[in-house]
Amino acid sequence: MRRAVIFVLAFTGGFTIMSVELLGGRILAPWFGSSVHVWGSIITVFMLALSFGYLLGGRLSLMEPNLTRFGMLFFAGAILVGPLLLFGDGMMTWVFARIEDPRYGSLVASVFLFGLPTVLLGMISPYSVRLLIRDTHHSGQVAGLLYFVSTLGSAIGTLGTSFYFVLWFAVDTILIALIVLLLLCGTLALVADRRLEPAP
């Protein structure tokens, strides 16, 4: 049961990352359009932020890993996604007033808006691997299964957001739903840490 919880959390992490990335295009479009330059900026920032997140998550997983600390990643992720709702328009206005070139303006805006939350969410996958691995002989298999689940979440988040959510709901509504989802995941991790024994 504990392993199932970790897989669910990893799936949700992948889902959330791609949902936020796709929403990034909608957030930047009113100011910088939706050209290949804008999407190139968004993808670059997300890839770089994820790479730092993987690095930091791996290091954090060496420090007495447990589900409670894992849950804190989700709470922190929810907190860092929040400013997209509160300050997104103001930040975009500030950047656009100074950098009208859609290439560099979208790049700077993406760093400010999505950099920190994506780093945080990127920490989820390596931390999940550390929580799941109990036997080094099966570490490769466990890591492969974990990244399969996480990437599956990313794929479903991509299709769900691009095919349905953006058609049914406003961007702010989707962001609120993602924040609530992250908070629920953090709560699930805390509850599981208190009630479930580690897998042998």
Could you report how far apart the first and last alpha carbons of the chain are, in Å? 12
Position 51 in a domain:
yes
Position 36 in a domain:
yes
Position 63 in a domain:
yes
Rounded (5°) CA angle 9-14-20: 120
What average pLDDT is seen over the chain? 88
12-43 residue pLDDT tens? 999 999 999 999 989 998 888 888 989 999 99
Spatial CA neighbour of 85 closest among 172, 167, 5: 172
CATH number at residue 50: 1.20.1250.20
Q: Which helix (H) or strand (E) holds 57?
A: helix 36-60
Phi, psi of 35 (to 5 degrees): -75, 175
Position 114 in a domain:
yes
114-142 residue pLDDT tens? 999 999 999 998 989 888 877 666 677 77
Q: How confident is the model at residue 100 (pLDDT cuts 50, 70, 90)?
A: confident
What is the Rg, in whole angstroms, of the alpha carbon atoms belonging to the chain? Answer: 17
Top-confidence residue, 11 or 102: 11
Eight-class DSSP state of 34: S
Residue with tokens 């791609």: 18
Position 106 in a domain:
yes
**Contact between 113 and 85 (Cβ < 8 Å):** no
* Global pTM exceeds 0.85: yes
**Mean pLDDT on 56-68:** 88
Residue with tokens 């922190």: 76
Position 200 in a domain:
no
Eight-class DSSP state of 163: I
**Mean pLDDT on 108-115:** 92
Provide, rounded to the nearest whole percent, the portion of the chain with pLDDT above 90.
52
pLDDT score recorded for residue 136: 61
**Mean pLDDT on 167-172:** 92
Domain count, the chain: 1
Give CA–CA dist 61/169, Å, rounded. Answer: 36
Find the domain containing 138 and state its range.
2-195
Q: How confident is the model at residue 111 (pLDDT cuts 50, 70, 90)?
A: very high
pLDDT score recorded for residue 119: 94
Q: Which helix (H) or strand (E) holds 182?
A: helix 171-195
Give CA–CA dist 61/143, Å, rounded. Answer: 14
E strand residue ranges, the chain? none
Position 139 in a domain:
yes
The CA–CA distances, whole Å, from 46 to 11, 139, 168 equal: 18, 27, 25
pLDDT score recorded for residue 96: 85
The CA–CA distances, whole Å, from 28 to 32, 36, 63, 90, 167 equal: 6, 12, 38, 12, 17
pLDDT score recorded for residue 193: 81
